[in-house]
């Protein structure tokens, strides 16, 4: 997924491609812009390319780094805000979640021109690490500073710019990222209080059901499945053939994969990646789409992205092309793996298999052309 604006303060201009921003007014109010890839990342590394000169009253702050998901977008004290982890492009001062760090590390002299400079910011959630690397002739101290704190571990942070005047302009470039394992969000899946079911009509599913899957019988509780899944509620309600049956066949699924679906529901999505010890993520993904389990879909998408290689990219793309709208990040990752290496791709068995599908070939060509098509639209002002 490309970087897009997650949130933006008023009086801040953003370019058509969402990558270049600047403030429209001079009032020192502290206006923020924040980017996202559409999902939480456990590792970010971005480069902020900027021009920055003094404001009307001397030095003016330009904070570059990261912000929490709930940081305010307006009237922010950039170097004291407890929701920012930023480096000031004016003099190198650093604010880490409200704590100002000594300038012994990064020490920048006052900007006197509109020369383009850059600060690369990295955040590693597992280590609690924020790193700033400066590329500027104004730097009088170290060019890199690492900050490691317990309070930085496992935070939901996003690349953020904090403006204080309109003479600053910033362009963001994504260097690398690592998608965090998604956390379940579906309130129905997460529920643990079932008291409301006591007042429900008498046809709410209850009792035991046996699923017949790939020659095996898997027993499960109707009430729990129906309470945490709209799909299984509809399937198991009285009046449906499955609801009246004691044995329900599940075609086109392996026992390992369907057991994974049941395990995910029983754990309220908390089972995490141990789910894949016994089940293939690609098969689980397709079952999750069929059973309307969006949180399981996102977990499978994440797992497949972690293991994606050039050798598996085309086969994965071909498998998910019919459900690409449910897994956009995975589709884009597959395409990125193949771009510039199509000579290797077209000689693979996976490519020969894909060529049998008109839909698959069409979607691959459109996906490969998408970045160029977007660039043409931006450069041509929408002209074809």
Q: Mention every residue, 6+ apart, whose C-beta is less than 8 A from residue 193.
A: none
Could you tell me if 105 and 142 are in contact, meaning their C-beta atoms sit under 8 angstroms apart?
yes
Q: Name which residue leads in pLDDT, 362 or 35.
A: 35
Q: Quote the CA–CA distance of 247 and 240 in Å, as a whole number.
A: 13
Burial of 371 (0-12, 13-18, 19+ CB in 10 A): middle
Q: Which helix (H) or strand (E) holds 171?
A: strand 169-179
pLDDT more than 90, % of the chain? 54
* Segment 52-83, tens digit of pLDDT: 765 444 557 899 999 999 999 999 999 999 99
What is residue 383's predicted lDDT score, i.e. its pLDDT?
47
Q: What is the overall mean pLDDT for the chain?
A: 87
Tokens of 108: 């920048």
Tokens of 67: 């912000």
> pLDDT category, 357, cuts 50, 70, 90?
confident
Q: Quote the CA–CA distance of 160 and 119 in Å, as a whole number.
A: 12
Indicate whether 47 pLDDT > 50: yes
Q: Mention every residue, 6+ apart, whose C-beta is less than 8 A from residue 308.
A: 316, 330, 333, 334, 337
- Most distant CA pair in the chain: distance in Å? 79
């Amino acid at each position: 997924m490309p970087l897009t604006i997650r949130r933006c303060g008023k009086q801040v201009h953003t370019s058509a491609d969402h990558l270049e921003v600047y403030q429209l007014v001079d009032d020192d109010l502290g206006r923020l812009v924040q980017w996202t890839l559409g999902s939480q990342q456990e590792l970010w590394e971005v480069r902020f390319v900027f021009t920055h000169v003094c404001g009307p009253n001397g030095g003016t702050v330009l904070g570059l780094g990261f912000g929490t998901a709930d940081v305010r977008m307006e009237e922010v004290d950039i170097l004291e805000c407890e929701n920012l982890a930023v480096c000031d492009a004016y003099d190198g001062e650093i604010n880490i979640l409200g704590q100002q760090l000594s300038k012994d590390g990064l020490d920048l002299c006052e900007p006197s021109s509109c020369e383009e400079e850059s600060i690369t910011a990295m955040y590693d959630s597992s280590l609690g690490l924020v790193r700033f690397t400066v590329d500027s002739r104004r730097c009088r101290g170290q060019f890199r500073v690492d900050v490691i704190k317990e309070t930085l571990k496992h935070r939901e942070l996003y690349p953020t710019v904090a403006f204080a005047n309109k003479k600053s302009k910033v362009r963001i470039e994504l260097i690398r990222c690592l998608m965090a394992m998604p956390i379940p969000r579906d309130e129905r899946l997460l529920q643990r209080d079932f008291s409301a079911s006591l007042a429900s009509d008498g046809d709410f599913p209850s009792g035991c059901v046996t699923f017949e899957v790939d020659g095996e019988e898997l027993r499960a509780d109707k009430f729990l499945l129906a309470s945490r899944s709209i799909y299984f509620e509809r399937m198991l309600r009285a009046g449906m053939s499955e609801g009246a049956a004691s044995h329900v066949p599940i075609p086109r699924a392996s026992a390992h994969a369907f057991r994974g679906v049941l395990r995910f529901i029983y754990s309220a999505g908390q089972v995490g990646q141990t789910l894949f010890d016994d089940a293939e993520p690609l098969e689980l993904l397709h079952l999750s789409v069929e059973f309307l389990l969006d949180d399981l879909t996102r977990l499978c998408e994440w797992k497949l992205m972690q293991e994606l290689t050039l050798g598996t990219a085309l086969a994965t793309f071909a498998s998910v092309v019919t459900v690409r709208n449910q897994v956009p990040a995975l589709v884009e990752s597959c395409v990125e793996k193949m771009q510039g290496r199509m000579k290797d791709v077209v000689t693979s068995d996976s490519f020969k298999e894909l060529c049998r599908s008109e839909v698959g070939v069409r979607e691959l060509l459109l996906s490969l052309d998408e970045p160029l098509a977007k660039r043409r639209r931006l450069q041509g002002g929408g002209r074809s």
